[in-house]
């Protein structure tokens, strides 16, 4: 089969790029190895309740904000079922055994005012933090859907998050309040760039939303738009090789035996996996190939998804984030301790408003903890059960996590009706990551060139998109999809159309 553009992987980056290109008249095909599309957007159900696999809330979706404008141009914004989180608290921050909690508010002015009430002696530090947050975001042109150049980003790219917090003279308690939801970007005290924290945090401060009925609706709506523009998704098509001919990719060969020829190929899977598919490894310089293959990955996670007994647990229209110690030091505590943190996401019972029908509890874990089962796979392409040792290990992790959660939220364990546990291997098998890491390649402020990629590769008709390129998360991946599309149609042209939509 021949298409103008073949995209490997149907995560948000692949789907959104496909829609934007198809809207410009390109003949686009998306290859997905699983039955379900969407990557991290996937939803699933058990016990008649819907759960999100990874995306539990989204930022910047208020009218006029960046993600709203992107989704509006893609034709899906009006079809999404959304619920805004509490204006006074989209994320609650708790640390250790402390009874004190901090509520992060939406809208930067409101966010600042509320922090001032918690830390009245640190208003200067809070004011400077808010200024730097806005200043940093202003230096990323795509974050503001405008033209610009790399020199703008370079002015703020080498700032380290922990150093900035120290320079503004924020107390340890204030620092914990500002970074208590660092699970959103796998924050690390020695590695995380301030820009990564700023772009992610600011998007949620601007506005925070749940997808009622699951985040899978985003991928479904993108699929509908793609079909409306003549694009195609081929499911159960796992690419086993990218055939190189005369210095370019000629075709994608799948395990089914099908071959997909195209003028251009865009990879929405991990860059390490993309390189491994090349039939001619010599097409890339060894130094580049080694840099990608050796790039450090972010930490993994365990997710406990719980169906609650009806009308027993009050719904919270915000998320709860607990860290055993400093949130930016949590990853270093692994693997000696578990859990080092958790985040709780509630889903409201629509038949009984005010009550929660389910919760999802997320916690860090090292992917290496599952090394013994690294060669086992279990997804729709290759369904297979794992051994008893794996099941027992998974159950013990869930029990240990719930024991800690129950210290503050005993009602969740008390009113559990049923539950399922996802491990890094679950995420790897269904979302196509390398080891089940949370956010792909780790961003390290100490070696930004080694941990940053561009959408264009050294192979003239091979491009990249997705969370490994610029920034992870729904907004970050959507921004990268614009870059991937602009490689074909031009950035100024595309931004003009998005801003006028």
Six token digits for residue 160: 């380290």
Which CATH superfamily, name and number, covers 2-81+213-295+443-500? Answer: FAD/NAD(P)-binding domain (3.50.50.60)
- The alpha-helical segments, DSSP class H, found in 8-63 are 12-23
Q: Is the pTM of this model over 0.95?
A: yes
Taking the C-alpha atoms of residue 62 and residue 75, their distance in angstroms, rounded to an integer, is: 15
**What residues form DSSP beta bridges with 304?**
361, 421
- Per-residue burial over 35-48, b = 16 or more CB atoms within 10 Å of its CB, e = otherwise: ebbbbbbbbbeeee
Q: What averages of pLDDT result for each successive group of 10 residues across the chain (501 residues)?
A: 96 98 98 94 94 96 97 98 98 94 98 98 98 98 93 94 98 98 98 98 98 96 98 96 97 97 97 96 91 93 98 98 96 94 98 97 97 87 83 96 98 98 94 92 90 91 94 95 98 98 89
- 3 state DSSP class of 160: strand
Give the three-state DSSP class for 7: strand
Compute how many other C-beta atoms are within 10 angstroms of the C-beta atom of residue 355: 18
Residue 430 φ then ψ, to 5°: -100, -20
Answer for the pair 328, 179: CB distance below 8 angstroms, yes or no: yes
pLDDT at 451: 76
Q: Are 28 and 18 in contact (CB under 8 A)?
A: yes
Cα–Cα distance measured from residue 182 to residue 191, given in angstroms and rounded to the nearest whole number: 13
Render 23-81 in DSSP notation, one character per residue.
HTT--EEEE-SSSS-BGGG-EEEETTEEEESS---EES-STTSHHHHHHHHHT-GGG--
Rounded-to-integer distance, Cα 68 and Cα 59, Å? 9
Q: Is 86 helix (H, G, I), strand (E, B) or coil?
A: strand
Q: Tell me how crowded residue 117 is: count the other CB atoms within 10 A of its CB.
A: 9
CA distances from 470 to 441, 475, 476, 484 (A): 10, 11, 7, 11
108 touches 206 (CB < 8 A): yes
Confidence at residue 385, expressed as pLDDT on a 0 to 100 scale: 78
What secondary structure does DSSP assign to 210-258, as a single string? Answer: EETT-THHHHHHHHHHHHHTT-EEE-S--EEEEEEETTEEEEEEETTS-
For residue 346, give every residue at least 6 positions away whose Cβ sits within 8 Å of its Cβ, in sequence order, or none. Answer: 315, 316, 317, 319, 356, 358, 359
For the chain, the structural domain boundaries read 2-81+213-295+443-500, 85-211, 299-438
- Measured distance CA(344)–CA(321) in Å, rounded: 7
3-state secondary structure of 292: helix
Backbone angles phi, psi at 346, to 5 degrees: -100, 150
CA dist., res. 115 & res. 37, Å (int) = 40
DSSP state of 443: P
pLDDT at 368: 95
Instruction: Give 265's strand partners.
Output: 6, 462
CA distance 6 to 260: 8
Residue 99 has a pLDDT of 87
User: Which residues have C-beta within 8 Å of that of residue 32, sequence separation ≥ 6?
Assistant: 9, 10, 233, 234, 235, 236, 237
Distance in Å from the first CA to the final CA of the chain: 34
For residues 370 and 374, give the distance between their C-alpha atoms in angstroms, rounded to a whole number: 6
38 and 13 Cβ atoms separated by less than 8 Å: no
Length of the chain: 501
- 427 and 433 in contact (C-beta within 8 Å)? yes
């Amino acid at each position: 089969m021949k298409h103008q553009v073949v995209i490997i992987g149907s995560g948000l980056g692949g789907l959104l790029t496909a829609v934007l290109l198809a809207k410009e008249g390109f003949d686009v095909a998306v290859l997905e190895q699983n039955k379900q599309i969407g990557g991290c957007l996937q939803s699933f159900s058990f016990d008649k309740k819907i759960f999100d696999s990874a995306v539990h809330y989204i930022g910047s979706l208020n009218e006029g904000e960046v993600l709203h404008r992107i989704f509006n141009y893609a034709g899906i914004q009006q079809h999404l079922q959304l619920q805004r989180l509490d204006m006074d608290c989209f994320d609650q921050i708790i640390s250790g055994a402390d009874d004190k909690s901090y509520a992060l508010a939406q809208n930067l002015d409101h966010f600042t005012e509320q922090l001032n009430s918690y830390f009245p002696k640190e208003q200067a530090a809070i004011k400077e933090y808010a200024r730097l947050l806005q200043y940093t975001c202003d230096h990323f042109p795509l974050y503001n859907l405008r033209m610009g150049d790399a020199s703008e980003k370079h002015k703020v790219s080498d700032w380290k998050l922990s150093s900035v917090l120290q320079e503004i003279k924020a107390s340890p308690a204030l620092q914990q309040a500002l970074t208590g939801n660092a699970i959103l970007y796998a924050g690390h005290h020695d590695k995380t760039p301030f820009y990564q924290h700023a772009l992610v945090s600011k998007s949620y401060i601007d506005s925070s939303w749940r997808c009622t009925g699951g985040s899978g609706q985003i991928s479904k709506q993108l699929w509908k738009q793609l079909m409306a523009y003549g694009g195609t998704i081929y499911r159960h098509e796992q690419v086993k090789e990218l055939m190189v001919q005369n210095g370019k990719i000629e075709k994608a060969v799948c395990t089914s035996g099908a071959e997909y020829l195209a003028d251009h190929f865009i990879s929405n899977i991990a860059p390490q996996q993309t390189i491994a598919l090349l039939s001619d490894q010599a097409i890339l310089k060894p130094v580049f190939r080694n840099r990608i293959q050796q790039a450090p990955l972010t930490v993994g996670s365990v997710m406990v998804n719980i169906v609650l007994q009806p009308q027993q647990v009050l719904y919270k229209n915000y998320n709860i984030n607990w860290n055993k110690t400093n949130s930016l030091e949590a990853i270093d505590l692994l693997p000696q301790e578990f859990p080092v943190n958790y985040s709780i996401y509630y889903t409201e019972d629509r038949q009984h408003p005010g009550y929660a029908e389910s919760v999802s509890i997320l916690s860090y874990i090292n992917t290496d903890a599952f090394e013994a089962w690294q060669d086992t796979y279990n997804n729709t392409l290759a369904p297979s059960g794992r051994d008893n040792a794996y099941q027992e290990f998974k159950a013990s992790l869930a029990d240990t996590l719930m024991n800690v959660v129950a210290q503050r939220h005993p009602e969740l364990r008390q009113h559990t009706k049923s539950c399922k546990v996802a491990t890094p291997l679950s995420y790897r098998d269904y979302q196509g990551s390398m080891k089940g890491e949370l956010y792909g390649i780790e961003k390290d402020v100490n070696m930004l060139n080694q941990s940053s990629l561009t959408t264009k590769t050294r192979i003239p008709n091979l491009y990249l998109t997705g969370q490994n390129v610029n920034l992870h998360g729904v907004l970050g991946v959507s921004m990268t999809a614009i870059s991937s599309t602009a490689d074909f149609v031009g950035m100024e042209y595309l931004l003009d159309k998005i801003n006028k939509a």
